[in-house]
Structure formats: C-alpha cells, structure tokens
A = this chain, B = another copy of it.
C-alpha cells in the first residue's frame, strides 16, 4: 500500500491570494492612501493597484478544481475563485477534501518572493507593506490553525540589516521559512558570489529558518522566444532552479554558512540526478583553475543543504535514491494549474505505487516536518 492513511501530507508549496483588506487592515494611517488596493477595471476584473502599477490576479493563479479545457490566462474577480484561494478557514476545508494536513502558502500579488515591494519607489512604504504581509501571514492566515499552516515570511532585500531585523522579529512569532528569490541577480541585487547576503544567511541559520526559493520568484521567465506560447516557460521553469542550484554549489555560500538550508520550491526533482552528475563532472575537471572549493564535491554539498519538492514526478520518484529520499518533500500547488486538487491523495497513491511505506512517509510528511521544524 503506497499511501497509508496515517501519512499526513505537508504541502511545501501552496499559494494564497491576498484578500482585499490585507494592507488596508494593517498599514499605518500615513500609508493608507499609498498602500496596495484592489480596484475594479472597466472589464469588471479585480486587480491590485500599487504605486501607479496594475497587478492582475491572473487566471492560472486560481484554477484549482477546473477541468483543463476551462483554463485561461485572463484576470479574474474574487467571486470567480473558490473561497479557499483567499480565506484561510475555507482553505482548511479545501485541504480536508484533498486529504492534506498542512500547507506552506506563498504570496501572490507581491510576487512569490516579494519582488513587487523590492521594486517599489518608496522604500519606507515597501518595508511597511512587507511587515503587513508577514503579520497577515502569521497573525491571520496561519493563526487560523497553527498545526496546519507553515508560516513563511518576506524580507526587504535592499538592506541586509533590515532583512535581519525582520527575520528576528518574526522568528519568535513562529515563522518557519523565508521566501527568498530563486536568484537575487534578476532583481538587480548582488549575487551569491559576494558577501552582501552574509548577515541575512547568518540570521537564517541562527533562526533555523530555511530559505524557500520558489521558481520565478525573481521575475526571470525561462525560454528564448518572447513570441512562444506560455506553455514553453511553464514547462521550463525548473531550469531556473537548475541555474540557482549550480550557482549556489559553486559559490562560497555553504562554506560560510554551514547550517544554511535551501528548499527549491515547485521545481520538481526529476532533473536532479542529471544536474548533480554534470556538476560533479564539471567540478572534477575545472576546479583547479577557478575560484571554487576544491575539497567538497558539489553533490555532497547538495545532500547537506538542499531540498526539492515534487508533485507528479514519475521519473524523479523512480530515481529517488540518486537524489536521496531525505531530500524530497511534497507539494500540492493549490490553487494553481499544476495541482491535482481535489484528487491529490489518489494521484499520490499512483505515483508512489512501488515505493516502500517508510520512504513515502518521509517524502509526503516527515522530511518537511524536519526541514521546517514543524513538528
């Protein structure tokens, strides 16, 4: 039996759609006018307005439960979505239907990693918006049921000391992970090959909070052709995480931060055996004349510092021992288009049909509890 009833699914990659009052409920009076607001377009769509920009809740963000024939890219209204998209009480019911115990819910309008606020002109306002989102996540969303939501926070990237302060403010409140861009460079920030991030990564180590790098969170869309159908980047988004992983493994980050943990979110796992083999092969041949560590094989760093997650990854599961069963966590991706909701357990039972119970239990529940200190 591949997925026993006693195994509780912890989804490490779900998404919430911010309700219309997330910021109006929380921002100080002086920012009430300038803060993010939902407006209705002439077409009757609900969109976010912030610093003169318009941000759509695109359709693929909230298609859970629809048949693929009805998927579309057009913006939506709140009343076109099932309430579990934006209501944490209703979400628990959607999770019950799907047989999911707990979920880590990334932001939507701010970007998975909060990039919208990073690009804001008024940084005092942006910091207030980040703090408001974190308070919403911890005090409203996750507080609905602390045993069923894994709290994730945003940090200001433009000032490492402010980022450290935000980590230290939220750790005692129960924050379990930091949403970090899948790479800082597309946001115009210093790379992993600089010392810019050292205070942030040290604070993450001290708080025992892994970085959760969601693909696309830096705004980088993979693929050569702007005129390609959007199916191309959808199929390719994991290449962002291949880039991030190799960048990290050939950087000084894990030597300077031996306790740092990184979760690669929504990227799948089936590519990991190839990338690790190729990265080791490169290291064997090219470490001598380059500024990379000469002592530790990249795949050994991976097995200490990196976790992946999977949703429907037959090739990855067949080759799980090359990756390491302890490296693999599970995701539902509710309410996005990759999700199998409300049939996630049924599909998981098929994917795990030939996997021993103890390994399935590790993948769907125990690894995530350990990684996120979510016991």
Taking beta carbons and an 8 Å cutoff, which residues of A are in contact with B? 68-73, 183, 185-186, 191-194, 218, 220, 222-232, 234-236, 238-239, 242-244, 246-247, 250-251, 268, 270-271, 273-275, 277-279, 281-292, 312-316, 318-319, 322, 337-338
Q: Please name all residues of chain B whose beta carbon is closer than 8 Å to the beta carbon of A250 when the two chains form the complex.
A: 228-229, 231-232, 235
CA distance A246 to B238 in the complex (A): 12
CA distance A104 to B243 in the complex (A): 29
Partner of A238, one of B70, B278, B290, B338: B278
| Seed contacts A223-B243, A235-B282; 20 additional CB < 8 Å A-B pairs | A183-B225, A220-B224, A222-B243, A224-B243, A229-B290, A229-B291, A230-B286, A231-B287, A231-B292, A232-B250, A234-B286, A235-B275, A268-B274, A270-B274, A270-B277, A274-B274, A277-B314, A277-B315, A285-B338, A315-B322
Q: Which of A246, A281, A283, A322 has the most CB of B within 10 A?
A: A246
Partner of A316, one of B234, B235, B274, B314: B274
Q: Please name all residues of chain B whose beta carbon is closer than 8 Å to the beta carbon of A279 when the two chains form the complex.
A: 235
Min Cβ gap A299→B in Å is: 12
CA distance A283 to B262 in the complex (A): 30
Partner of A234, one of B192, B226, B275, B282: B282
